Structure 1
Amino acid sequence: MPDTSNFTIRKAHPDDLPIVKQCMLALYHADRQYDTFFYELHPEEHADEEYSKCIRGEDGVCYVAEREGEIIGCLTGELSVVPTEQPARRTRLEKIFVKEGFRDLGVGSALVEAFVQWNKEIGVDRIFVRTYAENAGAIKLYERFGFRPYILGLLLSTE
């Protein structure tokens, strides 16, 4: 269990949208080291809708980590229903970001823990997350919670 004495985890409010977008844009820039092509195509015009839905709780959730009034990290996750698969209801941890200077303090762990708890509250027992194979820090974080390799994706660029 992470030490949250220096920060709090809460569900995001609608007025948090600008800082959530700012955090996620920083995530996109940080992830360019893993995939320069994909992140050139991020549809900024869809960011308001995407993150607002999670903040409003429409088939998803957005958590923020806050310290002394400053949002220092956030996580978004979505519920998906796939009738042809079992279990049909599952969630996907979409994005997680912790600001520089606040990493390795348990913020990411606390955000993931809140998301796992939300899953239990809504009766979902399967969580899916994707990360780049080279992102050792993220993989280590998820494995601490019991995530295990599930699907291997391969990419070929024909350029």
Structure 2
Amino acid sequence: MMTPITIRPATLIDIPTLELFEQGVISAERPVADNLRSGDITYYDLAALITSDECQLLVAETSSKLIASGYIKVKPSPAHHKYTNHGYIGFIYVEPEFRGQGISQQVIKALFDWAKQQGITEVLLDVYNDNAPAIKAYEKLGFKKSLVQMRVEV
């Protein structure tokens, strides 16, 4: 039987582990993101995500070990959109040995709960088109493909 999983807001003390998770996200995306700079890169200002009132960064832990992360940030929607603000989800990461157990869905549902408390009714996220497992997981939560971003080097 698996040890219970707790989902809680991240704290500044969690940053060293979250930095490892961030590198896990980057490593997973490098094969499908040919526009990433080589060498050491980061995506997130983790301290800002943790301390912002406009953001909720959650971690999942079991037996005092962090195993997953995800954040939602309140962002203004374009003037022509139906909603004034929306939630933007990012930094969804689950340690490899815990994948396939629905942990990312638990984290995202907790992010949805926080968004609702903020009066947010629309949530967006970006996912690489070639990341079929992530797309499938997001679709299980009700996400639908929307705008397709395309790129070319000239």
- Same fold flag (TM > 0.5): yes
Provide the rounded CA distance (Å) in 2 between the counterparts of 1:93 and 1:130: 8
> Residues 38 and 58 (structure 1 numbering): CA distance in 2 closer, same or farther, change over 3 Å?
farther
Q: TM-score, normalised by structure 1?
A: 0.87
Q: TM-score, normalised by structure 2?
A: 0.89
2:47 match: secondary structure? helix
Of 50, 53, 58, which residue of structure 2 is paired with 1:58?
A: 53
Where do 5+ consecutive residues of structure 2 fail to align? none
Identity among equivalent pairs (%): 22
**TM superposition shift of 1:56:** 1.4
Provide the rounded CA distance (Å) in 2 between the counterparts of 1:99 and 1:83: 35
Of 23, 26, 29, which residue of structure 1 is paired with 2:24?
A: 26
> Residues 27 and 119 (structure 1 numbering): CA distance in 2 closer, same or farther, change over 3 Å?
same
Structural mapping, 1:120-139, within 5 Å: 120-139=116-135
1:66 match: secondary structure? strand
One-letter code aligned to 1:124? I
The residue that corresponds to 1:112 in the other structure is 108
The residue that corresponds to 1:103 in the other structure is 99
C-alpha contact 1:9 1:65 (8 A) present in aligned 2: yes
One-letter code aligned to 1:82? S
**TM superposition shift of 1:17:** 1.3
Provide the rounded CA distance (Å) in 2 between the counterparts of 1:136 and 1:83: 28
